[in-house]
Amino acid sequence: MRTTLVLVVFSFLGLISMPGQAASVSIQNLRMWRAPDNTRLVLDLSGPLNHKIFRLKNPDRIVIDIESASLSKPMPVMTFDGPIIKSIRTGHRGNGDLRIVLDLKRVTQPKSFLLKPFQSYGYRLVIDLDHTPDADDPEFEKDKPAAIESASPREPSTPVLPPRRSEIVIAIDAGHGGEDPGAIGRRYRTREKHVVLSIAKELKRLVDREPNMRAVMTRKGDYFVPLARRVHMAQDARADIFISIHADSLPKKRARGASVYALSQRGATSRLAKRLADQENASDYIGGILENKDPIVQKVLVDLNQTSTIVDSLALGRDILTSLKPVGDIHSANVEQAGFAVLKSPFMPSVLIETAFISNPSEEKRLRTHRFQRQMAQGIFSGIRRYVKRKDLRPLPRAVPSGTVRHNDETRVHIVRRGETLSGIAQRYGVKLQALRVANNISGTSVQAGESLQIPGL
């Protein structure tokens, strides 16, 4: 049988040179996580390693050769149900190298990288196998913008009114997942990622029951999603509100109660807020991303729009906090602020809810119960509804940025909503701030809610 070498990727990431000797690495564990769009394999290692990964055909398979390595215990051939991997087998090569073979159900492009030790996690080798994107995911498909067509210069004489979007979109973000378990309970070793997903699903059910609301989830199962990707998913779905759900830990066993957080552009409002933000932001290092290049996470927040979004986030947080009071203890009476990466969208009010402390044994016990999960979801949901009602949020036209009214084929008019800034509006429509000023004869930067602005053409 002829085999064809399709791709060779060498990875030298994280290599530590050890002159004079090739250190033997032991592979201690192998985990597999399946997301809608990829399958991730993670190998726990006794130290750094040197590896090659390549594809072979007839039959399709991926081979990972690891220099001078061994398995800490024999691994039987494993078979799988998923969409990509049929089976995994291992073998020793004569030169002391270890070979891992992934037999495939269909061709896929592998990516691999080494994660350096972080907190309690040692060296890990991550192998990502892309599936074809989950094209028929109805949650995220609904809002794929069709706007470009209506704005097309080819048919300027045919004004196309965008269809009315009939729902307010709530993005629900269950923290952590997959390789990143989040905080772990003391008494039952409960993993934060599992309880927050249950609460998130419960919240989705409540939101979807409302006639004018729809929920989208940034993760639906036990797999890792990078922080910036969570924000992008919500933005792509044109979410109006972003809710991140957590249940973190503190060394102090007695710490208890729910708290709500918003983004801060400066320092944190308390030591606890800073601590939790650091804990949450570590997710990318634990869950594993190759490198953090994303502008959302790294950007210095100078956008004026961010300031008004934070004002909205604080209002949303207060409404949720009020609604959580009947559910159980409240840890901080005010919405606290810190630099949470997952709350960095300048476009939608975003809050992070610490539902309870998983480090408190009695709260851990409650977090595991369906009853508490349901009550917590109900509390968050009431807060969202309170906010939506108070802000008089209405479903916005889909397929064009929020607030657009298309008067005729040539003019776009934006009705300013409370909290919006001129620079934010300019950014939203992709026009220069100066052009927006000129078109509307504005010399300063302030705009009034309810004012209508002409949006200069493209």
Cα 202 to chain centroid distance, Å, stands at 18
The answer to whether residue 177 forms part of the interface with Zn ion (CB under 5 A) is: no
**In the complex, what is the shortest distance from the CB of residue 263 to Zn ion, in angstroms, rounded to a whole number?**
16
Contacts of 430 (CB under 8 A, 6+ apart): 458
Residue whose CB is less far from Zn ion, 55 or 246 = 246
CA gap 458, 456 in Å, rounded: 7
Cβ neighbour number for residue 355 with a 10 Å cutoff = 31
Cα 405 to chain centroid distance, Å, stands at 31
**Vertex 317 angle, CA 266 and 285, to 5°:** 55
The answer to whether residue 175 forms part of the interface with Zn ion (CB under 5 A) is: yes
Residues in 268-297 that interact with Zn ion by CB under 5 A: none
Residue whose CB is less far from Zn ion, 25 or 245 = 245
The answer to whether residue 246 forms part of the interface with Zn ion (CB under 5 A) is: yes
CA gap 181, 189 in Å, rounded: 11
Long-range contacts of 122-125 (CB under 8 A, 24+ apart): 122/44, 122/45, 122/46, 123/14, 123/44, 123/45, 123/46, 123/47, 123/48, 123/49, 124/42, 124/43, 124/44, 124/45, 124/179, 124/288, 125/42, 125/43, 125/45, 125/49, 125/51, 125/64, 125/66
CA distances from 26 to 9, 10, 20, 29, 47 (A): 22, 20, 19, 9, 8
Residue whose CB is less far from Zn ion, 42 or 353 = 353
**In the complex, what is the shortest distance from the CB of residue 336 to Zn ion, in angstroms, rounded to a whole number?**
15
**In the complex, what is the shortest distance from the CB of residue 358 to Zn ion, in angstroms, rounded to a whole number?**
9
Mark the segment that binds Zn ion (CB under 5 A) among 66-74, 134-142, 170-178, 327-335: 170-178
The answer to whether residue 248 forms part of the interface with Zn ion (CB under 5 A) is: yes
Pairing, β 78-79 against β 85-92: antiparallel
CA gap 406, 160 in Å, rounded: 8
**In the complex, what is the shortest distance from the CB of residue 163 to Zn ion, in angstroms, rounded to a whole number?**
38
**Encoding tokens for residue 57?**
């055909």
Q: How many residues of this chain interact with Zn ion, rule: CB under 5 A?
A: 4
Contacts of 79 (CB under 8 A, 6+ apart): 86, 87
The answer to whether residue 182 forms part of the interface with Zn ion (CB under 5 A) is: yes
The answer to whether residue 219 forms part of the interface with Zn ion (CB under 5 A) is: no
**In the complex, what is the shortest distance from the CB of residue 106 to Zn ion, in angstroms, rounded to a whole number?**
35
**In the complex, what is the shortest distance from the CB of residue 135 to Zn ion, in angstroms, rounded to a whole number?**
31
Residue whose CB is less far from Zn ion, 182 or 339 = 182
Mark the segment that binds Zn ion (CB under 5 A) among 240-248, 322-330, 363-371, 407-415: 240-248
**In the complex, what is the shortest distance from the CB of residue 264 to Zn ion, in angstroms, rounded to a whole number?**
17
Closest-approach residue to Zn ion (CB) = 246
Residue whose CB is less far from Zn ion, 173 or 248 = 248
CA gap 228, 209 in Å, rounded: 28
**In the complex, what is the shortest distance from the CB of residue 230 to Zn ion, in angstroms, rounded to a whole number?**
12
**In the complex, what is the shortest distance from the CB of residue 191 to Zn ion, in angstroms, rounded to a whole number?**
10
* CB 413 within 8 Å of CB 187: no
**In the complex, what is the shortest distance from the CB of residue 183 to Zn ion, in angstroms, rounded to a whole number?**
6
Residue whose CB is less far from Zn ion, 175 or 288 = 175
The tally of CA atoms less than 13 A away on the side-chain side of residue 429 is 28
Mark the segment that binds Zn ion (CB under 5 A) among 12-20, 180-188, 249-257, 384-392: 180-188
Mark the segment that binds Zn ion (CB under 5 A) among 26-34, 41-49, 179-187, 305-313: 179-187
Residue whose CB is less far from Zn ion, 23 or 255 = 255
Helix (H, G, I), strand (E, B) or coil at 110: strand
Residue whose CB is less far from Zn ion, 123 or 357 = 357
The answer to whether residue 180 forms part of the interface with Zn ion (CB under 5 A) is: no
Rg (CA), the chain: 25
Mark the segment that binds Zn ion (CB under 5 A) among 200-208, 244-252, 428-436, 440-448: 244-252
Q: Which residues of this chain interact with Zn ion, rule CB under 5 A? A: 175, 182, 246, 248
